Structure 1
Amino acid sequence: MHRWIIASCGDMRPVRRRDAQDQPEEPRRRRSATVSPPRLRKEGSGGIPVPKDMAEFRTMSEYGHLRLFTYDQLRHATADFSPRLIVGEGGFGVVYKAVVGGAEVAVKALNPQGLQGDREWLTEVSCLGQYSHQNLVELIGYCCEDDHRLLVYEYMAKGSLENHLFRRSCSLSWTTRVKIALDVAQGLAFLHGAERPIIYRDFKTSNILLDADFKAKLSDFGLAKEGPMGGNTHVSTRVMGTYGYAAPEYMATGHLTAMSDVYGFGVVLLEMLVGRRALDPPPRPSSRPGPPGPGPPAGRPVGTLVDWARPILIRGKKLEKIVDRRMEQQGQGGYSARALERVARLAYDCLSQNPKVRPDMARVVKVLEAALAADAEDDGRGSDSSPAPAAR
C-alpha cells in the first residue's frame, strides 16, 4: 500500500479549527501567466474570481473546470471511507484511493480539527482550479457539502518522493532523481512565472508525488501565496511551512519571495544527493551517508543536513564521500563526475543564506537539463571526462 501526502515532522503550521482564518486577502481575479521558461505554458479557461471565504465560494455556480461532487458520491466511491482504501494520512486528514467514472482517483477528506482550515482549502481549490500544468497534480473536483471538505485528485500510483527516498532499500537511480528534480523545478518555474507570481511556500519531499512512470508533480497548495507585484520586493505574512525547508530570511522576518521556494528546492535537492532527511544528524565519521542510520556519538554537536553538508558540495573529492551510496557510478546506471558537480553546485547556490544570489527557477531548469545532457554525453563516450565548471 502506498502511503502518501503524509505530514512531515516539524510542520510549523498551527493546529487550528476549520473556521480559523489567516489574515484576510483581497478578492482576486484569475490572471494569465507570463511563462518562464518559454516552453512552460498556462492552460485552462479564464475569468474566474477567487472567493475570499466559504460563504462567497458557495454562491458560485461553478469553479473553473472542476467538478462538484456530492458527499454521497464520494462516500460511495470510497466504500463508505473504508480503512482498506486509505493511501495516506496526516494532520490534514485522510486520503483514500477511489474509482470515479471508471478512473482511479485520490480523495482527500479534511479533518475539521486538522492542520488545514477553510483558508488553506480555498487556496488549494483556487490554485489548482485555475492553473494547469504537467508538473502540478491535477485537481479533478471537490465537495463542500455541510461541514464536509473533500478534494478529488488524479491518482499518483508511486506515492510521494519522501516514501521512496528515505527507505533503506531505496532504488531511485541518479537519473531518476535528477529527472524528478527537473519536473518539480519546471512546476515551480511555471508558478513563479505567472503575471502575479505564485509562491508555493511548502516545498518538501512529502509534497512531491510520483505517477506510475516516476514523473513528479507538486501537490498540497494549501500554503501557496500570491507574490509581490510592482515595485514591492516581498509579501509579508505569518511564518508557515515546515522547519528544515523554510528559507532563513523568511523565518526571521516573515518576508516571502520566490527565492524562499528556491531555498526549499535546494534542501530537497540536497536530500536527493545525500539520501538523508533535512533534520537528520551528521553521519559518523567512519560512515558514508545513505539511508538514515544511527545518530552522532555522544558529545558531538548536531546540526541540520544543510549545516554540515552544504560546505562539502563544492569540495571536490570530499563531495564523493557524502553522495548517497545507493546511486551507482557512471557505466552502472549512475552519474558522471561532470553531472554530479553541476547538480551539487546548483544545490549549494540554492541554499545560499543571501536570497539575492540564489538562481531563479528558470535558471535551475536549465542547469538540471545540462546535467542530464552531460550524463548522456559521458555515458556515450563510455568513460568519465574531466569535470567541467558548474553552470551557474
Structure 2
Amino acid sequence: MPSIIPTIDLAHDSPARQAELIKLALGNVGFFRVVNAGPSRQDVEKMFEYSESFFSLPMATKETYLAGRSGSGYTKLITFSYGKYCANTTQQMPPPFQDSTPGGQEAHQTIKRFYKDCHQVSELLLELFALALDLERTHFKQSHSFGLNTAMSLIHYPALNEAEAKALSTIDIRAGGEYFLNATRQDTNPTREHKDWGSMTLLFQQPRGQPGLQVHLPSSLIRPDDPQASPESYEWYPAPIPEAHQDEHAGFLVNVGLGMELWSNGAYKATMHRVIFPGEEAGSESVQDRDTIGFFVQPDDHVAFQPILPGGKVDTSTKAITSGELFDMKLQESMERFQKHFAFSGGDEKVKKDVQVENAVVV
C-alpha cells in the first residue's frame, strides 16, 4: 500500500508541478518525501558510517565532546542543551571528524559537503514554497543565511529492552521542538509528540533501517475508504523509510515547523510527530539500533513572520513575531517543562542507572 506521505521528484517534475504537489502535501499532511535531489547517496552512506563510528565510542570519550553554547558537540538523552550551528566554530570536533585523525580530513570534507548540499536543496524547496503561494521565488530563501541558524544533527536511537523502554517511557526525546502535554494522563510528564520550530526539517534515514518516526494525522486521511474514520479523530501513522536502491541521490523526508506555519498563514501545516525507540513499541521484535540525520532549517533571527494573504500579498498591518523571538520562547517553554518534569520525577538518577542513551552530535 503506497504511503499517504507524497513523493516529489525534484529532477523530473516541472517547477509548477513541484510547487503544486508541495502546497497539497503541506496543506494536508505537513510532510513529503524528496527524491533525485540533495546530498549524494555516497555522502549519505558515509555520514551514517561516521555516526555509527562516533556513537560506538566509550561513554567517557563521548562525554569529552559535550555540546556547548555553540551547538557543536555531543548531547546525551539526559542532558538538556541547545545551540546554533556556527560555521566557524572553534570547538574541537569529536572523532572521527577531527582533521588530525586517520580519515578525519576526508570525514570533515564530507560533512562540509553534506551540509552545503542540504542547504542548497533547502533553498530550492524554499523557492518552491514561495511559488506555491504566488510569491517571489526569493521571498523565503533570502531570510536563511548559510551557516547562521540552521543546525545539522546526527541522532542515535539505541534498541531498548523492556526494562529500558519502561524507564524512558516519560522522557522527552528529540533534537529541538515543541512538546505537548498529554491531557489524558494524571501526572505532569510530557509525551514525545512535538512540532518543530523553524522553517523546515530534512530527515535522512537509512535504507531498510528501523522505523520510528510517526506522524499524527486524521483517521479519515489514513483510511479514506473507511466510513468510520473521522477527520476529528487522529492516529499515529508511520513515516516511510527510503528504499534500498542505487540512485545518485538518497531520498529524504521534509516537514515544516511552527515558523513556516505562521509565515504561510496556516497554508503549510506544522504537523505533530514523535520518535519511537527501536524495540519500544508493544509487540516489537526489532532489536537493532537506529540512526538518523536531521537538518533543521531556521530563518535568521531578525526575520518577522509576516503572514501571507491570498494572492501572494504580505500582511504588514500588525507586528509579527520574529524567528529569534519564537525560538527563544519555545526554548524557554521546553526548559521549564524539562525542569518541571525532572523535579516531579525526582531527578534523572534512575534513568542513569537503568540505561545510558545517546541522543545526538551536532557537527
Q: TM over 0.5: same fold?
A: no
Greater relative CO (CA pairs within 8 A, separation 6+): 2
Greater Rg by CA: 1
Length-normalised TM-score, structure 1: 0.27
Length-normalised TM-score, structure 2: 0.28
Higher strand share: 2
